[in-house]
Structure 1
Amino acid sequence: MSPHQQFLLQQLDDEDRLSTLTDDILLSILGRISLCMAVRTCVLSTRWRHLPWLLPELSISVKDFLSVPCPKPIEANDMEELAMVSLTKATRGFLADPQRERTISSLHMKLYLTNTFFSEVGPLVGDAIDNGLLKDLDLTVLDETDPLDRSDEDMLQRAQEIDTFFRAYPSVLHCLTKLSLKNAGFDKLEMHHVLFDCCKQLKHLSLCYCDTGTYSVFKIDAPNSKLCVLDIDRCRFERIELACLPKLETFIWTTWESQHVPVTFGVVPSLGELELSCPASYNERPFKLSELLHGTSSIHTLTLDFEGEILWLQPEMKELRTAFNKLKKLSVCGIFVEFDILWTTAFLVAAPSIEKLCIQVWEHACDVGEFRGGIYRDRRTPHWEMRFDGSENRLLKELEFGGFRALEQQFTFIRSMLERSPNLQKIILRGDMQCEDCHALDASLRPSKFPKKDEEEMVAKRIRGGMFSPEIIFDEDWSRI
């Protein structure tokens, strides 16, 4: 028997073994792969053929129907429309099948805002909800257009189209548990009413390049909202006022443009995870973190990312103790490599309950010298002159350091952590942070500065100094920090 024949027999044998499993186990297997792959797999076996229509959770993305590479020159809008036509056929097969036996507990859809979306996908989803076939909907409205290429009129038009769709199919609003929107300007629409009064089941909201008018104040007062996660990315709000969101657990804001404290918190008793990330320019004034955190009392995970620019925080310690009384994990990222990092010890003084500390240094080959431009030109070295008391952080057990390159100030910082944290058991040293622009440069302009294998023992000895004995792990992959 040839090796090829043996291989085929083994495949048949494996298929027979799988086919003896119950539907629930096979559905669990199919639920771990894409819907397109699941359908292709089941077409090959009569035993599996009915299974995709029994899946309790469905994920349908228009990107699975895009031709790659495109067979011939075609306008982007036409390509998106063609992909949406294919997505509609797939959606109809799952939502309009009269023989479907089980309710769909969750439908995840990623699609474009095209005519097909309004005329066909909308009615299919609306009918499935009205008929009790679909319980929860996760909807992402995609837009591949560069935000810089969209005018204010374009954003207003896009918001109007989204609002029109929701008004045409109100049951969709009532079923939404997760919604992601991009490039929409809700200046003249009741954005708050739609998202927080009509979307009664909404738990996760992501807004990217959206606003209610340039540099406007977005106030959210929704005592009955179930929203748990709010993710704001590069939206032109002067300030966000979270007056009342009782179920909010995670708040993320990336890149704001404000001369004041960018967000204020009112009634947010469940807020435990906060992430603030912004490459502030030299003309933006720093603010007090304690002022921003006023009103919060349950934050356990905090991420601050300066993206290699100025530090947008004013020096303070004791003022933070109330907001930091439950803080367990702190990540301070995007600290320009030439800046001092010892000032971050101030957070440990304010939060003796921290168990894990992550520090990430910013050093991009594409962001120095002749490659640096735009509004981010003046990096001002921060001056945080503070007096640290003799208190210890007895709960700190793990330190992660991204962008480690064995600089003197980095050794000084790590040793200071060991000196004030007697239970620090693990130190993870990670490599430089790189991006696509860095990789596009000549290799000679971005040499690796992470310790080589034969240097690791020397670095570890210098950190321990004959006095400490933490586990030291070297990992050149910075992305996991």
Structure 2
Amino acid sequence: MPPHQHLGDEDRLSTLTDDILLSILGRVSSCMAARTGVLSTRWKHLPWLLPELSIDVKDFLSVPSPDPTEADAMEKAMMSLTKATKNFLADHRRESTISSLHLNLYLINNFLCEVGSLVGDAVDSGLLKDLDPAITDETAPRDCSEVYMVQRGKEIDGFFSACPSVLHCLTKLSLRNLCFIELDMHHILFDCCKQLKHLSLYQCDTGASSLFMIDAPNSKVSVLELTLCRFVRLEVVCLPKLEKLSWDTWMSPDMPLAIGFAQSLGELELSCGAVCANSGTKLSELLHATRGIHTLSLGFQGENIWLQTETKQLCTAFNKLRKLSVQGIFVEFDILWTTAFLVAAPSIELLQIEVWEHPCDEEDLTDEDRRRTNSERRNPQWDMDFDNSKNWLLKELEFVGFRSLEQQFTFIRSVLERSPNLQKIFLKDDEECSFCAALGAPSKFPKKDDQEMIIRRITDGIFSPQIIFDKL
């Protein structure tokens, strides 16, 4: 590009108003936004006008960063993050208040306390309104000992104790690899964090196989996300503002969840593999106290279906269900059983089905282990009764992991026969698995030349939905 053309482009960009330039800067990291001030005097003051800031410790790691990240590299990154935070929160540079600050931090005590003090001062002075911190950790879950997690729990408690103002403005909090066995987890998260709306816990608990009860009638928490948490049971006794509850991979042999007073709950996501007891879970019993579930996601991670057979019992809980996602169904399993949900909730408008096929699952298994795994997988057996059921209102069907298997055609045709409003069918490839790709596993998604034949098999000249192939 000729030099005069480059200067002309810069001049045109610089003539834009502050609000447009701030909209542009808001799409990049705060650190990148700060660097723009070096390029032009026109941009110099803009980073300190941004109403929302995001400062991520990983932006300060060397490129490429070591994997796993070394302690020295994490300490240097936290040192740089602390300086950046101090710079952004400096009173003499700010021309407006900060509506939201997202911080992604390593749990290193001396830097956490300094960052906490900076944030606390900003809160006390009215400069900062909402805080969204995420305490990250590079340690893999399997490498986290009980001692390690307990120590991290004490450190985060020490951080909150040293910086009480931080607790007052927390609106979103993400914690990872923490054990609160010696602390009052409920008091910290639900009594002290009075403004907290979004809580994410990744491998956090109050000790292995512990009971955790949430009874917080005054809490503002609307989103609760749990992953790999070791609670033997979580009882949501009272959480009136809760709108979304997500639990990915629990460690209990049975469904470890009980839902009490959660009148706002509309979205529920549950996903786990084969750790559940053979008896399975009655979804109707889990949802008996709910009346407003509109979005439901159930995941089985390629293992046995951890639900008991039931249809009519679900009708009350499914009264308002509009979107259903059933994920991780082992590729060799029958899929027709999922239509039981459509019978129980004929008001479903969007149905997502995802088939699980991962050759990498069995790569390291011996022949004996492979035979035992396959023998332990049990094809779902659900009694289907369509005699007295109404036509379904289903408008859209998404099938992820489509493989042109006979049971998949049977399922789609069965749905078409009972869904006069079905307008679109998306047949999608599944997301690429890096482990399967490393094995050289070929894609089994239909090739372009086969798609016309598949459309004819589905429609058979009778049905007329739009069928869309989506190769990821």
TM-score using structure 2 length: 0.95
Give the partner amino acid of 1:411. F
What residue number does 1:93 align with?
87
**Identity of counterpart residues, as a percentage?**
66
Deviation sequence 1:336-369 (CA, Å, 0-9, x none): 0111100011000000110000001111111247
- TM alignment of 1:227-242, pairs within 5 A: 227-242=221-236
What residue number does 1:352 align with?
346
Q: Is the 8 A contact 2:254 2:277 kept in 1?
A: no
Provide the C-alpha distance between the structure 2 equivalents of 1:369 and 1:81, rounded to a whole number of angstroms. 38
What residue number does 1:43 align with?
38
- TM alignment of 1:246-265, pairs within 5 A: 246-265=240-259
- 3-state SS in 2 of match to 1:68: coil
Give the partner amino acid of 1:18. L
Q: 1:467 to 1:152 in 2, by over 3 A?
A: same
Q: 1:381 to 1:163 in 2, by over 3 A?
A: same
Q: Is the 8 A contact 2:252 2:275 kept in 1?
A: no
Q: Is the 8 A contact 1:63 1:83 kept in 2?
A: yes
- TM alignment of 1:29-108, pairs within 5 A: 29-70=24-65, 76-108=70-102
Q: Is the 8 A contact 1:364 1:434 kept in 2?
A: no
- 1:431 corresponds to 2:425: no
Cα offset for 1:80?
0.5
What residue number does 1:451 align with?
446
What residue number does 1:463 align with?
458
Q: Is the 8 A contact 1:231 1:253 kept in 2?
A: yes
- 3-state SS in 1 of match to 2:281: coil
Cα offset for 1:287?
1.0
Provide the C-alpha distance between the structure 1 equivalents of 2:243 and 2:56, rounded to a whole number of angstroms. 27
- TM alignment of 1:199-214, pairs within 5 A: 199-214=193-208
Provide the C-alpha distance between the structure 2 equivalents of 1:393 and 1:54, rounded to a whole number of angstroms. 55
Deviation sequence 1:1-42 (CA, Å, 0-9, x none): xxx42xx32222222122122211211111111112212223
Cα offset for 1:98?
1.7
The counterpart of 1:315, out of the listed 280, 284, 309, is: 309
Give the partner amino acid of 2:150. L
Q: 1:464 to 1:151 in 2, by over 3 A?
A: same
The counterpart of 1:129, out of the listed 123, 126, 129, is: 123
Cα offset for 1:298?
0.5
What residue number does 2:401 align with?
403
- 3-state SS in 1 of match to 2:326: strand
- 3-state SS in 1 of match to 2:422: coil
Q: Is the 8 A contact 1:281 1:309 kept in 2?
A: no
Provide the C-alpha distance between the structure 2 equivalents of 1:125 and 1:178, rounded to a whole number of angstroms. 15
Give the partner amino acid of 1:462. R
**What is the root-mean-square deviation of aligned Cα atoms in Å?**
1.9
Q: 1:462 to 1:174 in 2, by over 3 A?
A: same
Q: Is the 8 A contact 1:391 1:420 kept in 2?
A: no
Provide the C-alpha distance between the structure 1 equivalents of 2:394 and 2:68, rounded to a whole number of angstroms. 57
* Structure 1 residue runs without a partner (length 5+): none
Size of the aligned set, in residue pairs, is: 468
Q: Is the 8 A contact 1:353 1:393 kept in 2?
A: no
Provide the C-alpha distance between the structure 2 equivalents of 1:154 and 1:281, rounded to a whole number of angstroms. 25
Q: Is the 8 A contact 1:81 1:116 kept in 2?
A: no
What residue number does 1:165 align with?
159
- 3-state SS in 2 of match to 1:210: strand
Q: Is the 8 A contact 2:54 2:103 kept in 1?
A: yes
What residue number does 2:327 align with?
333
Give the partner amino acid of 2:145. S
Q: Is the 8 A contact 2:29 2:54 kept in 1?
A: yes
Provide the C-alpha distance between the structure 2 equivalents of 1:151 and 1:394, rounded to a whole number of angstroms. 50
The farther-off stretch of 10-19 and 447-456 is 10-19
Q: Is the 8 A contact 1:289 1:320 kept in 2?
A: yes
Provide the C-alpha distance between the structure 2 equivalents of 1:70 and 1:28, rounded to a whole number of angstroms. 30
- 3-state SS in 2 of match to 1:467: coil
Q: 1:127 to 1:284 in 2, by over 3 A?
A: farther
- 3-state SS in 2 of match to 1:164: helix
Provide the C-alpha distance between the structure 2 equivalents of 1:448 and 1:393, rounded to a whole number of angstroms. 36
The farther-off stretch of 245-254 and 35-44 is 35-44
TM-score using structure 1 length: 0.94
The counterpart of 2:273, out of the listed 259, 274, 279, is: 279
Cα offset for 1:284?
4.9
Give the partner amino acid of 1:293. L
- 3-state SS in 2 of match to 1:209: strand
Deviation sequence 1:212-251 (CA, Å, 0-9, x none): 1111111101111110100000000111111111111110
- 3-state SS in 1 of match to 2:171: strand
Provide the C-alpha distance between the structure 2 equivalents of 1:45 and 1:148, rounded to a whole number of angstroms. 48
Q: Is the 8 A contact 1:214 1:236 kept in 2?
A: yes
Q: Is the 8 A contact 1:289 1:313 kept in 2?
A: yes
Q: 1:369 to 1:134 in 2, by over 3 A?
A: closer
What residue number does 1:226 align with?
220
